[in-house]
Amino acid sequence: MPSSVMPTSNQRDGHASPAAVSTVGLRKSFGDKTVLDGIDLHIPAGSVFALLGPNGAGKTTAVKILSTLISADGGQAQVAGHDVTTSPDGVRAAIGVTGQFSAVDGLITGEENMLLMADLHHLSRSEGRRVTAELLERFDLVEAAKKPASTYSGGMKRRLDIAMTLVGNPRIIFLDEPTTGLDPRSRHNMWQIIRELVTGGVTVFLTTQYLEEADELADRIAVLNDGKIAAEGTADELKRLIPGGHVRLRFDDPAAYQTAADALREATLPHSRLRSSGGTPIDEALSLQIPSDGSQRELRSILDWLDAAGIEADELTVHTPDLDDVFFALTGPANIPSQPSQPTQLNQPKEDAR
């Protein structure tokens, strides 16, 4: 399809940002099972995008379509400006894919795997050796380079897999569950590698079941559920989507705490959500908790009310639910989006989104 049909700039925040990956109405079924039921994505170049979803949600299917390993049944997808259907070679030249379908051959050494990759990319012998040496060094695999890859730990195999992907100097990398099964140290190493890739200008499309991983790495996160994008936004935007956020007031002075607790109990706070619940005392910490979505509007109304009531806390903190809460709320049987056929638009005012 002509590139002009696909969104190439981020209309929502107003500035032009070339899309590394862009899909409209992407659909895929296996038999009578619909796995992707109209997926729209816009991933700006140079960003990290995380596709989150429970087992079987269709994350790997999405990656396979975008990396041209399988074809979609409907909709459109462009990767690095190339249509996946009409220009798969263009897509393949621009991307690297690692993860569940690792390219590492366990029978040969790490170095041989790298050199094989260099051959596949038609690098000259000397260039292949140079790139191999550089990447083995960068991924801390020099010592293991002459050993068969089958002897590598899980973390080393993942590092080798990414190093092999980088031989082709891809602009976009698909990482399908890159840290599944890794120990915490290896996982943090992998996160550091991913951050460095992005610093070098690479766009990363990540699938993960680890909310912490998406929270750590991703500029934007989409939650895939039941074939659709249930919600999309930054980690903070997602967290603000679900109830459970609150403002906590902490007092050093027990008397000030008691006065505030009494005032809150009596209070009719300006915002309707606050009116019914008031403050919840948490005695041990001399803290009070006021339900809040953390929005500027609610915070202002809370602050105004505190000022008017003459309450001055020693510390005021805003707490939002973590991504686990979001994940369970969005992917459970009774998920919360108000419009079943529409993803929750997080960059609109929250009142509109609910």
Ligand X SMILES: Nc1ncnc2c1ncn2[C@@H]1O[C@H](COP(=O)(O)OP(=O)(O)OP(=O)(O)O)[C@@H](O)[C@H]1O
User: Could you tell me how far CA 184 lies from the centroid of its own chain?
Assistant: 19
CA distance 11 to 131: 39
Rounded Cα distance between 136 and 121, Å, is: 17
Whether the CB-CB separation of 176 and 100 falls below 8 Å is answered with yes
Contact 90, 3 (CB under 8 A): no
Nearer to ligand X, 57 or 123 (CB): 57
In the complex with ligand X, the residue whose CB is nearer, 70 or 318, is: 70
Kindly state the smallest distance separating residue 27's Cβ from ligand X, in Å: 13
> What gap in Å lies between CA 131 and CA 141, rounded to an integer?
13
Instruction: Confirm if 129 and 120 have CB atoms less than 8 A apart.
Output: no
CB 203 within 8 A of CB 172: yes
Minimum gap (Å) between residue 337 Cβ and ligand X: 19
Convert 207-236 into a string of H (helix), E (strand) and C (coil): EECCHHHHHHHCCEEEEEECCEEEEEECHH
Strand, helix or coil at 291?
strand
Residues that bind ligand X (CB under 6 A): 30, 35, 53, 55-61, 209
Least Å distance between CB 74 and ligand X? 16
Write down the residue that tokens 């686990």 correspond to: 324
Residue 77 vs 263, nearer CB to ligand X: 77
List the structure tokens of 36.
């992707």
Tokens of 342: 């529409």
Count of CB atoms within 10 A of residue 157's CB? 18
Closer Cβ to ligand X, 102 or 209, answer by number: 209
For helices 154-166 and 110-120, give the axis angle rounded to 10 degrees.
Answer: 20
Least distance (Å) from ligand X to the CB of residue 75?
16
Nearest Cα neighbor of 173 from 151, 152, 195, 157 is 195
Q: Which residue has the tokens 């290896």?
A: 186
